[in-house]
Structure 1
């Protein structure tokens, strides 16, 4: 089964930064790698579900015209809103995926450290909604921890295997280390927007 909202409530009750996103070099380096893997300098509309306290969101905001962030937990939403409060092109809302998936098309959807908190059925629904929400040149950035997590029915390999099987997109980049896997998928087989090379 997918992890209960109470699981995340307990984590955020204990800490404003339950995964040490702000302080661990591992997390900072991983975010830098994620942003470096994006083939386009800027994206028009970006969606980041499960934004937690907004550390990755702040970096994504520098690369887009519009960013929608969601999180299941009310405290995470408050923390992200505070973190991003000076960025008028960013919106943070409380929502659960796949049930509260937003409307419209996105040029980039970021699925970071979220898949294994869902059961396989819910994760497959997220993948389906991701495909339906991608713009014609849209991309998907996915990153997940590879080690087992207590209480989770999936691990990072399960999550990325489902992406490989169900996304039906071009995988442009794959980076794997002992602790995590990071992939970028695109509707386009090109690693960059060719029009940008002539700007």
Structure 2
């Protein structure tokens, strides 16, 4: 069974940063690895569900022309909006997966620390929706904690096993540590363009 919205209400009532995204070296390093695993310098349209207080979102915003973020919790949405204030190409909405999946297509969907909060049935629906929402050269990046999470039936290994089983895509990147998994799937087995020149951030 998926965790109720009350769980996240309690988390954000207790702290603006309930998972210490802003202060823990583990979280900063994981964000840096996440961004480093993206083979494209820039994406047209990125979707990040479960954005929490927007720490990863702020970095994704530097790598795309349009970013859509969602979170189930109203306080998380407010925090993320403040974190990314002034960025016209970013939209942040309150929504619940998988029921409130957005319309349109994306060339990158980032599923970070979200899968184990859903039961297996809902997670499978998320994977199906992600596939339907990807552009022709779209990609999925997933990153999840591997240890048990209180109240959750799945862990990171379960979440990534379902992705590997249900995404008919090429896995370009696999980063595995005792604490977390990071995978990047793409529709085509593309590699980094070695002739591409570096662009400084436009954000």
TM-score range, shorter chain: over 0.9
Hey, what does 1:54 align to over in structure 2? 54
Structure 2 residue ranges without an equivalent (≥5): 198-203
Partner secondary structure for residue 8 of structure 2 = helix
Paired with 1:108 and 1:190, the residues of 2 have a C-alpha distance of 14
1:71-86 mapped onto 2 (5 Å cutoff): 71-86=71-86
Paired with 1:124 and 1:17, the residues of 2 have a C-alpha distance of 28
Hey, what does 1:102 align to over in structure 2? 102
Count of aligned pairs: 197
Q: CA deviation at 1:198?
A: 6.1
For residues 82-117 of structure 1, what are the alpha-carbon distances to aligned partners after superposition, in whole Å with 9 as ceiling and x for unaligned? 000121100000000100000011010000000000
Paired with 2:84 and 2:107, the residues of 1 have a C-alpha distance of 20
Partner secondary structure for residue 197 of structure 1 = coil
Paired with 1:88 and 1:31, the residues of 2 have a C-alpha distance of 23
Paired with 2:4 and 2:108, the residues of 1 have a C-alpha distance of 27
Moved beyond 2 Å, runs of 4+ = 196-199
Paired with 1:10 and 1:128, the residues of 2 have a C-alpha distance of 30
1:186-197 mapped onto 2 (5 Å cutoff): 186-192=186-192, 194=193, 197=195
Hey, what does 1:135 align to over in structure 2? 135
Judged with a 3 Å threshold, the aligned counterparts in structure 2 of structure 1 residues 60 and 198 are, in CA distance, closer, same or farther, namely closer
Aligned-residue CA RMSD (Å): 1.0
Q: CA deviation at 1:197?
A: 3.1
Structure 1 residue ranges without an equivalent (≥5): none
1:7-156 mapped onto 2 (5 Å cutoff): 7-156=7-156
